Amino acid sequence: MTFSSVAVRELPLFPLPEVVLFPDRRLPLHIFEFRYRIMMNTILQSDRRFGVLMVDPVEGKVANVGCCAEIIHCQRLPDDRLKIMTLGQQRFRVLDYVREKPYYVGLVEWIEDHPTERDVKTLSIEVDQLLRDVVRLSAKLTGQEIELPDDIPESPIELSYWVASNLYGVAQEQQSLLEMQDTAARLEREAEILTSTRNHLAARTVLKDAFQGE
């Protein structure tokens, strides 16, 4: 992960409904709106970076904390649309909006997790095991082979981002995890979510076994 030495900078901003980007995670985008085609063409001529901010689809509110995305691949289509692949970089907080048209540009500060004396390694081992339990029970319940990828991060902070990015249908929860600046707190919350999921799957598995045994 590359961190800028500049603590505050201007950053083009790309609001997306119910999409939360995390550091080191990939996000494919299809750019078709004229203002965002302008934005991406400008970005491609500079440092290829912009900010992704989650939009609450119900309230229409744009989050104040997001993740910087770097364009790592770009495909231009015949009608000027763009297909791009981005990679999450560092997180940021919007301090102010310096421009709104043709697209948003914000003054942002980079944010990182605070140092902690808590045992994050033990927490990450717990989260990893819960993750494997959930996958095993899901496979048993669906009768399908489900395997975790080989490249799951071992670093506690990177694991916390990986787990958060793979939670589906809970954008507000993901946003909350993105905003946390405490690795231990993020892992603890993920352990709670995974424990709840595991218990739910275990109960369904018991019911399934009971019905099949009749």
Confidence class for position 212, pLDDT limits 50, 70, 90: low
Residue 77 belongs to some domain of the structure: yes
Does the structure show a pLDDT above 90 at 206? no
Q: What is the pLDDT of residue 8?
A: 92
Residue 171 neighbours by CB under 8 Å, 6+ apart: 18, 19, 20, 54, 56
What pTM value is reported for the model?
Answer: 0.89
**Which residues constitute the domain of residue 99?**
8-111
Q: Clarify whether residues 204 and 126 are in a common domain.
A: yes
- Quote the CA–CA distance of 183 and 97 in Å, as a whole number: 29
Q: Of 38, 41, 49, give the one whose Cα is nearest residue 87.
A: 49
Q: Clarify whether residues 173 and 146 are in a common domain.
A: yes
Q: What is the pLDDT of residues 76-101, one digit of tens each?
A: 998 889 999 999 999 999 999 999 99
Q: What is the pLDDT of residues 101-113, one digit of tens each?
A: 999 999 999 999 9
CATH code, 64: 2.30.130.40
Does the structure show a pLDDT above 90 at 48? yes
Residue 1 belongs to some domain of the structure: no
Q: Clarify whether residues 107 and 143 are in a common domain.
A: no
**Tokens encoding 74:** 């770009």
Query: How many Cα atoms are found within 13 Å in the side-chain-facing hemisphere of 51?
Result: 29
Q: Clarify whether residues 124 and 192 are in a common domain.
A: yes
- Count structural domains, the chain: 2
Residue 32 belongs to some domain of the structure: yes
3-state secondary structure of 93: strand
Confidence class for position 213, pLDDT limits 50, 70, 90: low
